[in-house]
């Protein structure tokens, strides 16, 4: 399928002005001031006058087989459906397990990732779950990363949380070293995705791993860094050295405690955190539990991928962040951090994952791997 986007305001995510963009064979073929439709082939022409063409969004923390379970069997969340991605302009997901690495399996995540790919979207995953020792497919997390094309790292490993298995610094260091070497062998990022809990001084285990090994801060992606004021304050300093992930779905469910993602982005940038170190993810299909002071579950909600586009919109319209900066948290930043080749940019040769928005951030068209999505 050949598609020509004509007269679009193109954000790569850098703004490059009004351009025509030609796609075909799942890729971006050409970007020019004016492109004549190729002769002898059927071409779909989309007039984008007054509209913004941006990269399809990357949601790099999604419980694709469903999360939850903290409140018993009835609190298990459903698995990801394609329309959940498309409602938020998401064309790429990274799947993971979370709290429940006991009754849910890494194998089921892998098959869901294969299913998503077969349906025309891009998907990768982490091996493992909250627990240490962490569940794997082969019995060895390094082999999972090296052998399975879909597996790019390990996580989410829980620290600083009452649901964590309380891994020692030595255990965290060993997991990180295994992931790093396996990533090198397999040509992957070898990232360790870290679930950050509510304990005070939450980044200390990561600081201690870096202090006692040759691993650097960029081997980790700690998530939920906006879950309370004190972790967010620490994230302002941590983010200058390594990556930090902001959970978009948790707001407004816990707005009295959580830092609103769009506000978090503004404050992180003002604190000197490079935008390339910041990502937004949805925690999609994961549970958003609220516990009382004694650790009892009070309520539970579910994350949705559409929360990312909502927070990007509000970062631009309410917090006055330039669109090209706000877009990076769900395009170029996760693509670079996780080494997702062909993702996160509008550039010749990149995958044709494109999102067409009007001035109000409403989705006009969504393209995944060169195919216009109808949902």
Give residue-wise pLDDT tens across range 249-291: 987 777 788 999 999 999 999 999 999 999 999 999 987 777 7
As beta bridge partners, residue 107 has: none
Q: What percent of the chain has pLDDT over 90?
A: 88
Instruction: Report d(CA 354, CA 336) in Å as an integer.
Output: 17
3-state DSSP assignment of residue 115: helix
* Residue 71 to residues 65, 67, 78, 106, Cα–Cα distance (Å): 17, 11, 14, 21
**CATH class entry, domain 57-337:** alpha beta
Three-state secondary structure readout of 29-40:
EEEECCCCCCCC
Q: How confident is the model at residue 293 (pLDDT cuts 50, 70, 90)?
A: confident
Q: Would you name the residues annotated as active-site residues?
A: 283
- The boundaries of every CATH 2.30.40.10 domain in the chain are 2-54+345-372
pLDDT tens per residue, range 122-143 = 999 999 999 999 999 999 999 9
Q: How confident is the model at residue 176 (pLDDT cuts 50, 70, 90)?
A: very high
Alpha carbons 353 and 28: distance in angstroms, whole number: 9
Mean pLDDT of 295-309: 85
Q: Is the pLDDT of residue 1 over 90?
A: no
Q: What is the CATH code of the structural domain delimited by 2-54+345-372?
A: 2.30.40.10
Contact by Cβ (8 Å): 319, 19: no
List C-alpha distances in Å: 226 to 164, 223, 258, 324, 345. Answer: 18, 8, 6, 22, 26
- Answer whether 375's CB lies under 8 Å from 369's CB: no
Looking at the chain, which residues constitute the CATH 3.20.20.140 domain(s)?
A: 57-337
Whole-number mean pLDDT of the chain? 95
Q: What whole-number distance in Å separates Cα of residue 296 and Cα of residue 290?
A: 8
Token representation of residue 72: 């018993």
Q: Is residue 51 a contact partner of residue 8, using CB atoms and an 8 Å limit? A: yes
Alpha helices in the chain (DSSP H): 82-87, 106-118, 141-147, 169-186, 204-212, 229-238, 261-270, 306-317, 323-328, 332-337
Residue with tokens 């993702």: 343
- pLDDT of residue 296 exceeding 90, the answer is no
pLDDT tens digits, 324-370: 999 999 999 999 999 999 999 999 999 999 999 999 999 999 999 99
């Amino acid at each position: 399928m050949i598609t020509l986007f004509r007269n679009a305001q193109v954000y790569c995510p850098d703004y490059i002005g009004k351009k025509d963009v030609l796609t075909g064979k799942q890729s971006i073929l050409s970007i020019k001031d004016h492109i004549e439709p190729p002769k002898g082939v059927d071409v779909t022409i989309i007039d984008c006058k007054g509209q913004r063409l941006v990269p399809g969004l990357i949601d790099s923390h999604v419980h694709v087989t469903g999360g939850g379970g903290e409140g018993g069997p009835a609190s298990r969340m459903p698995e990801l459906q394609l329309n959940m991605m498309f409602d938020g302009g998401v064309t790429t997901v990274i799947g993971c397990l979370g709290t429940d690495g006991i009754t849910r399996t890494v194998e089921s995540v892998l098959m869901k990732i294969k299913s998503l790919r077969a349906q025309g979207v891009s998907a990768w995953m982490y091996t493992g779950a909250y627990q240490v020792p962490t569940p794997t497919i082969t019995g060895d997390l390094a082999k999972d990363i090296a052998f399975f094309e879909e597996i790019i790292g390990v996580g989410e490993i829980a620290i600083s949380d009452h649901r964590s298995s309380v891994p020692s610094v030595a255990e965290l260091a060993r997991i990180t070293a295994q992931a790093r070497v396996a990533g090198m062998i397999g040509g992957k990022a070898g990232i360790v995705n870290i679930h950050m809990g509510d304990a005070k001084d939450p980044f200390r285990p990561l600081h201690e791993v870096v202090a006692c090994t040759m691993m650097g801060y960029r081997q980790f992606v700690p998530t939920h860094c906006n879950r309370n004021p004190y972790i967010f304050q620490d994230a302002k300093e941590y983010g200058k050295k390594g990556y930090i992930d902001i959970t978009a779905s948790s707001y407004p469910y816990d707005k009295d405690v959580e830092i609103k993602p769009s506000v978090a982005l503004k404050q992180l940038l003002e604190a000197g955190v490079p935008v390339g170190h910041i990502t937004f993810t949805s925690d999609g299909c994961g549970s958003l539990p609220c516990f009382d002071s004694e650790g009892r579950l009070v309520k539970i909600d579910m994350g949705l991928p559409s929360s990312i586009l909502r927070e990007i919109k509000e970062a631009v319209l309410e917090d006055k962040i330039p669109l090209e900066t706000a877009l990076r948290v769900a395009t170029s930043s996760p693509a670079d951090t996780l080494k997702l080749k062909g993702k996160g940019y509008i550039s010749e040769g990149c995958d044709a994952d494109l999102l067409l928005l009007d001035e109000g951030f409403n989705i006009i068209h969504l393209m995944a791997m060169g195919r216009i999505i109808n949902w």
